[in-house]
Structure 1
Amino acid sequence: MSRIDIPAVQSATGATADVYTRVKKLAGGRVPNTYAALGYLVPPSFQAFLDAHAALALGSLSQQDLQTIKLLVSVKAGCDVCVAAHSFLAKMAGLPVDVLRAIRAGNATGDAKRDALIRLVSILQDTSGSISQDEFAAIRAAGYTDTQLAEISLAIGLITFTNTFNRINDTDVDFPNVD
């Protein structure tokens, strides 16, 4: 059970109600537990978070790339809510179950570009300091542009925020079980 109690979504008023209305438009009429808590606790900051996600969605990374990043970072952080959510969303973005299993395990998927992305994200999550010149060359050789490298960084930053909050809150998982 989540550690932080929040009022029922239906009782929200003011800035929180505004955030929930926005989330419902994005999430098919529902407010996932993580978003309900953050929308209640920090509505202006959460609006900025949603704005950053909207900007990222307009960027040059595909939804499959974004979900690959978010899923892998969530696995490495140990965030069961985000692993479930991004497994579900990755499947909706067209990634097959066997590819999702490989991403969660940190294994090769058979797609050279996706595997280069997995390698870069893994290195960034597992190490500190700058990546090596060889790693930089490898991700560029896989076809990722400088703009996409900035977008990868933003995607990692955004998912790290929700991973961290869910780990603090022990947020209840409200997405389907992972295959």
Structure 2
Amino acid sequence: MNRIAIPAVDTATGATAEVYAKVRKATGGQVPNLFAALGHLSPGVLSAYLDAEGALAAAGLGRKDLETIKLAVSAQTGCEYCVAAHDMLGKLAGLSADDTRAIRTLQPTGDDKRDSLVRFVIATLRERGTVPADTLAEIRAAGYGDKQLVAIAFAIALTVFTNTFNRINDTDVDFPAVQ
């Protein structure tokens, strides 16, 4: 259960109502619990987050890669909310149920490029200091260039933000449960 009380989304006014309208437009009418909480507490932060997600979408990675990164990060941080969200969104982006399960559990997906991406993301999260040269060489050999490395770093950072907030709030999961 949410640790932070959030009023009903339909009662929002001012900047909160405006950012909820932006969310509804993007989602087809829904305001996910994460966005309801962020918009209530800090509409400016939610607006900045949505703008950042827009920039990320145009940063040079496809939806499958972005959802792979977000799911891997979320599984590593233990954010149940984001694991459920990115498992569903990953499937909508074209990942199979077997792919999302493998990503969550750090098992091979059978796609060498995707598996290199997961290894790179996990190494980036776990390693202290500069990412090792061999880790960087592997992701480049898999076909990711410098432009994509920026997008990967940005995707990790945005996901760590939502994971952290959801873990603080214990945000009610409003996505299909992950088995």
Task: Report 1:18-97 matches (<5 A).
Answer: 18-97=18-97
TM-score (norm 1): 0.98
Paired residue type of 2:18: D
Whole-angstrom distance in 1 between the partners of 2:149 and 2:107: 21
Residue segments in structure 2 that go unaligned for 5+ positions in a row = none
- The residue number in structure 1 matching 2:105 is 105
- The residue number in structure 2 matching 1:13 is 13
Aligned length in residues: 179
What SS does structure 2 have at the residue aligned with 1:99? helix
Whole-angstrom distance in 1 between the partners of 2:91 and 2:178: 10
- The residue number in structure 2 matching 1:157 is 157
Q: State the Cα RMSD in Å.
A: 0.8
After superposing the two structures, state which structure 1 stretch, 80-89 or 53-62, moved more: 53-62
Paired residue type of 1:118: V
Residue segments in structure 1 that go unaligned for 5+ positions in a row = none
Whole-angstrom distance in 1 between the partners of 2:101 and 2:6: 33
Deviations 1:10-38 (A, max 9, x none): 00001100110011111121000010000
Whole-angstrom distance in 2 between the partners of 1:29 and 1:97: 26
Deviation of the 1:46 alpha carbon: 1.4
Deviating above 3 A after TM superposition, structure 1's stretches of 4 or more consecutive aligned residues are none
